[in-house]
Amino acid sequence: MFSVFRLQNAQSVAHPGGCEIGPRPIDLHLKALKSMGAKVQDAQRGFIYCEADRLTGCDIQLDYPSVGATENIMLASVFAEGETIIRNAAKEPEIIDLQNYLQSTGVHVTGAGTSIVRIHGGEHKLRNAEHTIITDRIVTGTYMAAAGITGGELLLRNVIPEHLSSIISLLRESGCRVVVKGSTMLVAGPARLRALDIVRTLPYPGFPTDMQAQLVAMLTMARGTSIIVETVFENRYKHVDELLRMGANIKLEGRIAVVRGVKKLTGANVYARDLRGGAALVLAGLAAEGETAISDIKHIDRGYERIEDKLRQAGASIQRVN
């Protein structure tokens, strides 16, 4: 979501950054704010200027179920006059978590987790609230893939299994054993993974694009040929060149990756080009023979808190080198 800075009577916001994984336009965000009465103009030096005496609730149809746009509209609607309706809203668990938080502060918002979210705005007098953020499902999925690619066994606590259904299904299909008991999950990798037929990244509840790189890394050592179709971001295969350095057999054709499993990967000097691609290289390094050195780990640190400490607790030989 945007970071906003005060500038006289307007608000200025820097153009968002993040991983370079393809076009990431914010047109849906700006179109919604304009519909609510904000004046928006691009300016030089990488800033966008927004100004509004007041915002008015309205009916907003998203062209794509964007998580960030849905969240931004929900937040902007809190003090907008009247009701705001978001159609084709994102359904991710993070949307439901935001709704739960807003409700705890006194905001009247319903529909999160469905395609239509309604927010009744106005002069709310928000109350203090204590809220626990949900477990990161992508971090959880990454550790699940770590067990799969190494043939190891991990016991994961404080997970939310219903948020991981697509990941659980694919890991089981690949030969992993996944046992769920409440908020605890046991994941055990097989002696040799099985290839997956066709996997497409999709908005929730489909298989998340943020797990594509980790799955590709895991399937590099599977028996047979797997096909991955990236439908969300067009430039999300930067990790493939690095996996090839380690002996993987992957062919790219546009948004399709054909992964032919090899019996072993070999350690190499590789570079993390983005957040999830960096996590994929960590997984590949865990399973590879010899030493793997991953540079530009600043990308990994954006999404994983001291990943090396957690993996070392599970028996991995991994260390951060300054």
Active site residues: 19
Alpha helical stretches, state H, 174-263? 212-219, 238-245
In contact, 37 and 76? CB cutoff 8 Å: no
Q: 3-class DSSP state for residue 153?
A: strand
Q: What is the CA radius of gyration of the chain?
A: 22
What distance in Å separates the CA atoms of residue 255 and residue 233, rounded to the nearest whole number? Answer: 8
Alpha-carbon gap, residue 236 to 233, rounded angstroms = 6
Taking the alpha carbons at both ends of the chain, their separation in whole angstroms is 31
Q: Note whether 155 and 144 are within 8 A (CB).
A: no
**Per-residue tokens: 15:** 């153009």
The CA distance from 140 to 144, in Å, is: 6
271 SS3 class: strand
- For residue 109 the two structure tokens come to 């918002």
The arrangement of strands across the sheet holding 39-42 comes to 4-7, 10-14, 47-51, 39-42
- The long-range contacts involving 12-20, CB below 8 angstroms and separated by at least 24 positions, are 12/43, 12/47, 12/48, 12/49, 12/50, 13/47, 13/48, 13/50, 14/46, 14/47, 14/48, 15/46, 15/47, 15/48, 19/274, 19/275, 19/276, 19/299, 20/235, 20/273, 20/274
Pull the structure tokens for residue 186.
């046991």
